[in-house]
Structure 1
Amino acid sequence: MSETGITTDPWEYCLSIPNDPRAVTVSRRTLRLILTLHGLVRRADVAELLAAELVSNAVRHTKGPAALRVRWSAGVLRIGAWDADPAPPEPPVPLEQAVDLEEGRGLALVRACADLWGWQPLAREGNRGKVVWCELATA
């Protein structure tokens, strides 16, 4: 740990989640615990919002299992949601337009709040799929 209490060594967690809307709450609470234990509680509010949007999309738009992936390396927190659908996510609408939508704001919020975001195909445990991810720098 550094003098600020933030873990300097890289780490990674992966939480397998069922296709269940309650998984969003479990993911948020698990992420907050992880960040608190690693001295990153100052980033928890934004990180929880981003994780909730990513996991919610994975659960809402796919039928199979999903996973929350969290990685810390070189001062960057990467949050990702894996799902079993290999199709790319719908492009985010501009945040100004998303405010008036009842749904479909998730990736607009991710794009607005994260330092960087994207997606990539990713197989997990023999299942084809994708991971949608975002990054937050701690500095």
Structure 2
Amino acid sequence: MTSLRTTVEAAAVGPPTYSQTFPCEPSTAEIGRKLVRDALGAWHLDNLVDVAALIISELVANAVRHTPCRSIRLIVGRPSATRVRVGVVDRKPSHLPVLGQAGEDDESGRGLLLIDGIADRWGYDLRGPVRRPWGKEVWVELRIEGDE
């Protein structure tokens, strides 16, 4: 079992990435926000912390609400010099994210709409064999300010 106090290290090769597995429960959103703060702080990208923390909170909330998974994997990476990627991996590949149509009085259903409005881009990737994926990663990318 993964300790919630385990230090997360950047990948030694390739683009830097921080990732760790946690329980699929609402309290993981707070842990995710800390992971985002720590990773972006290490990369001197403090200006993206608030937006990325909001995004990880929404992604965790969606995983908790829409999947029966016992654990999820949180990922914060730099796929390129101009982008930061925040993602959540769960084991429910059959439940794909879609933009909601929340009504004015609805108390939920706006998470992806919010993400769509603040992110540079977002999407999902299935994990595992093409014919029988075991999970999916819902990811969001933010452009690093000052870069084209």
1:100 Cα deviation (Å)? 4.0
Cα distance between partner residues in 1 of 2:103 and 2:43: 33
Please, what TM-score do these two structures have when normalized by structure 1?
0.82
2:43 is matched with which residue: 31, 38, 42?
38
Q: Is the 8 A contact 1:118 1:132 kept in 2?
A: yes
Q: Is the 8 A contact 1:12 1:69 kept in 2?
A: yes
1:115 corresponds to which residue? 120
Compared with structure 1, are the counterparts of its residues 10 and 90 closer, same or farther at alpha carbon in structure 2 (3 Å cutoff)? closer
Give structure 1 stretches of 5+ with no counterpart: 1-8
Give structure 2 stretches of 5+ with no counterpart: 1-13
Cα distance between partner residues in 1 of 2:135 and 2:53: 23
Cα distance between partner residues in 2 of 1:87 and 1:120: 12
Runs of 4+ in 1 over 6 A off after TM superposition: none
More helix by share: 1
1:85 corresponds to which residue? 92
Q: Deviations over 1:9-39 (max 9, x none)?
A: 8301112111221111111112111111210
1:134 corresponds to which residue? 140
Cα distance between partner residues in 2 of 1:28 and 1:21: 12
The AA in structure 1 aligned to 2:108 is: E
Q: Deviations over 1:32-54 (max 9, x none)?
A: 11111210111000010111111
Cα distance between partner residues in 1 of 2:121 and 2:89: 17
2:57 corresponds to which residue? 52
Q: Deviations over 1:55-93 (max 9, x none)?
A: 111122112211111111221001111101012434113
Cα distance between partner residues in 1 of 2:50 and 2:27: 19
Matched, 1:22 2:22: no
Q: Alignment partner of 2:26: what SS?
A: coil
Cα distance between partner residues in 2 of 1:34 and 1:50: 14
Cα distance between partner residues in 1 of 2:17 and 2:66: 25
1:67 corresponds to which residue? 73
